[in-house]
Amino acid sequence: MSNQSVSAKYFPNEPQQPIVKTTSLNVSKQEIEALGKVFDSRSAYFAADYSKSIGNYIADVDGNLYLDVYAQIASIPLGYNNPALIETAKSDKMIRAIVDRPALGNFPGNDLKEICGEILKVAPKGQDKLWSGLSGADANELAFKAVFFWYQAQKRGYKTDFSREEVESVMHNQAPGSPELAILSFERAFHGRLFASGSTTCSKPIHKLDLPAFKWPKAEFPSYKYPLDENVEANKKEDERCLAIVEDLFKTWSIPIAGVLVEPIQSEGGDNHASGEFFQGLRDLTIKHGALLIMDEVQTGVGATGVMWAHERFNLQPPPDLVTFSKKFQSAGYFFHDPEIVPNFAYRQFNTWCGDPARMILAGSIGEQILKNDLVKVADRVGKYLYEKLEKLQSKYPKYLKDLRGKDRATFIAWSLESSEARNQFLNDMKKVGINIGGCAEDSVRLRPTLIFEENHADVLIEAIEKVLSKY
């Protein structure tokens, strides 16, 4: 274990403990109400004071300082007010990127290759190109478009022009120009909330109700029995069962399936894990049926699972066709390697901005810091430490730490409680002892700390959990 703390290096003044001044959150409530008059703020936990937030600690307007293991829904990579990122934010390059935002597809800056190059330094193994977007949902939809372009080009020929019938029918949103093609996703998956990404999302009804959706299929995602090492045979059968469903859908779904979209760990849907064999099975099936494989690394990507990209653990052969990213990387988009994933004509994968160099520059910096400080290893090391402590707590409070998940997945850890109410109560009580922590699915708790969350932070977290659970 290295004794050089990275968080102390970035944040010599990071507090040792949370500060709980008040649990009534009066100022927060006022601010949220004021904001609510002009902006839907009903999902607000509290009003945050980012100027007072530091490292792993987030400040609210009531003077509380929470240890943050939710980190803006898994999207703060290096802690609040990280000095290295502040330096980037103040750089001439950044200022230029903010002030003169280019339409990248038409007028790329002369430094765009370099900016992409910085991001590509931490690209998943086997990927060497990227396309940039603006959010997780956007990244996935851009990837779907790439998949559909590719799929039709396979049939038509990469360089073949469109038929007259296609060109005419498409203006009426009809086939063959607007073909009926599907993306297959999984039950309990979450891929975003625009219309196509929303059609692949399958975590909760509230995410989908009242919105039109494409008639795209869902397969089942493995539901494992825990602990894993005691249920090897049963879980293997579960993989096979789910893969058979995927194969069946390829053969029977009314619309051809052009791509399969899957998270390495289903995050919003409850931190559901699956084996490398399952994912290799998916890889094989997509190849067999002439479809592409998209790994959605929006939440799992950028280090938190102890590898830069969670799917790298599966060592898929050949690597996935597209890997989408956002959140912790601050910049969004997809990685790919096959040049024919770039559509044959201009203005097909296109929009006004085609990404945002300001955010791309930040992503480059985040990647650089991760490499420089070996933060993926840090997450791995701290994750092991934390997981062991949680296991111990689990034996003491089994009802409140059911199905502990994320062994050997660094700090990407989750567990379940017995009901939604119990879980919500727990999240609430944790806030009162100074921990900002998030849930997922109906009954689960997930840890999504920064990459500079270390043993001392883990100790604070464990102590707080124990404090809360000891009163139950």
Partner 1 sequence: MLRRIKGVRYLSSKYFPNEPTSPVVKTASVPGPKSKQINQELGQVYDNKATYFVTDYFNSYGNYISDADGNKLLDVFCQISSIPLGYNNPKLIEAAKSDEMIDAIVNRPALACFPSTNYAQILKDGLLAAAPPGMNKIWTSLCGSDANETAYKAAFMYQHSKIRGNKPFSEEELSSVMNNKAPGASEMTILSFEKGFHGRTFGSLSTTRSKAIHKLDIPAFDWPVAPFPKLQYPLEEFEQENRQEEQRCLNKLEEIIENAPKQIAALIVEPVQSEGGDNHASSEFFQGIRDITKKHNVLFIVDEVQTGVGASGKFWAHEHWNLTSPPDMVTFSKKFQAAGFYYSNPDLQPKDAYRQFNTWCGDPSKAILAKAIYQVIKQDGLVSKTANVGDYLYSGLQQLVNKSDKLKNLRGKNFGTFIAFDCVNADVRNKLLADCRLNGLNVGGCGESGVRLRPTLLFEQKHADLFLNILEKVL
Ligand X SMILES: Cc1ncc(COP(=O)(O)O)c(C=O)c1O
Window 380-419: residues binding partner 1 (CB under 8 A):
none
By the rule CB under 6 A, 298 interacts with ligand X:
yes
By the rule CB under 8 A, 4 interacts with partner 1:
no
Count of residues binding ligand X (CB under 6 A)?
18
Cβ 328 to ligand X, closest distance in Å?
Answer: 11
327 included as an active-site residue: yes
Give the active site residue among 296, 356, 380, 429: 296
Beta bridge partners of 414: 405, 446
Cβ 398 to ligand X, closest distance in Å?
Answer: 28
Residue nearest to ligand X (CB): 136
440-460 in b/e form (b: 16+ CB < 10 A) is bbebbbbbbbbbbbbebbbeb
Binding to partner 1 (CB under 8 A): which residues in 32-61? 32, 34-35, 37-51, 53, 58, 61
User: What DSSP designation does 91 have?
Assistant: S
d(C-alpha 221, C-alpha 224), whole Å: 9
By the rule CB under 6 A, 410 interacts with ligand X:
no
**Strand 48-54 with 402-405, pairing:** unpaired
CB-count exposure of residue 99 (10 Å: 0-12, 13-18, 19+): exposed
User: What stretch of H or E contains 112?
Assistant: helix 112-120
Give the active site residue among 49, 321, 327, 412: 327
Q: Which residue has the tokens 């959140």?
A: 327
- Taking alpha carbons only, the member of 2, 348, 314 closest to residue 142 is 348
| Segment interacting with ligand X, rule: CB under 6 A, options 8-16, 111-119, 146-154, 346-354 | 346-354
**Per-residue x/- mask for partner 1, residues 157 to 186, rule CB under 8 A?**
-----x---xxx-xxxxx--xxxxxx----
CB 165 within 8 A of CB 277: no
CB 294 within 8 A of CB 136: no
CB 472 within 8 A of CB 396: no
DSSP-based three-state secondary structure for 465:
helix
CB 208 within 8 A of CB 216: no
21 included as an active-site residue: no
**Per-residue x/- mask for ligand X, residues 205 to 244, rule CB under 6 A?**
----------------------------------------
Q: Name the binder of 412 from ligand X, partner 1, none, CB < 5-8 A by kind.
A: none
d(C-alpha 167, C-alpha 156), whole Å: 14
Please say which residue, 191 or 381, places its beta carbon nearer to ligand X: 191
Cβ 78 to partner 1, closest distance in Å?
Answer: 9
The residue within the footprint of partner 1, chosen from 22, 23, 106, 419 (CB under 8 A), is 106
Binding to partner 1 (CB under 8 A): which residues in 416-445? none
467 included as an active-site residue: no
Cβ 141 to ligand X, closest distance in Å?
Answer: 9
Q: Name the binder of 131 from partner 1, ligand X, none, CB < 5-8 A by kind.
A: partner 1
Cβ 405 to partner 1, closest distance in Å?
Answer: 22
Number of C-beta neighbours around residue 173 at 10 A: 8
Q: Give the Å distances, CA to CA, from 326 to 34, 140, 193, 241, 445.
A: 30, 10, 14, 31, 22
Calculated CA dihedral for residues 123, 127, 133, 138, nearest 10 degrees: -110
**Per-residue x/- mask for partner 1, residues 218 to 257, rule CB under 8 A?**
x---------------------------------------
352 included as an active-site residue: yes
Give the active site residue among 113, 160, 352, 374: 352
Binding to partner 1 (CB under 8 A): which residues in 341-360? 342-343, 345-353, 358
d(C-alpha 95, C-alpha 97), whole Å: 5
By the rule CB under 6 A, 411 interacts with ligand X:
no
Q: Name the binder of 190 from partner 1, ligand X, none, CB < 5-8 A by kind.
A: ligand X
Contact residues: ligand X, CB under 6 A: 73, 135-137, 140, 190-192, 263, 267-268, 296, 298-299, 326, 351-353
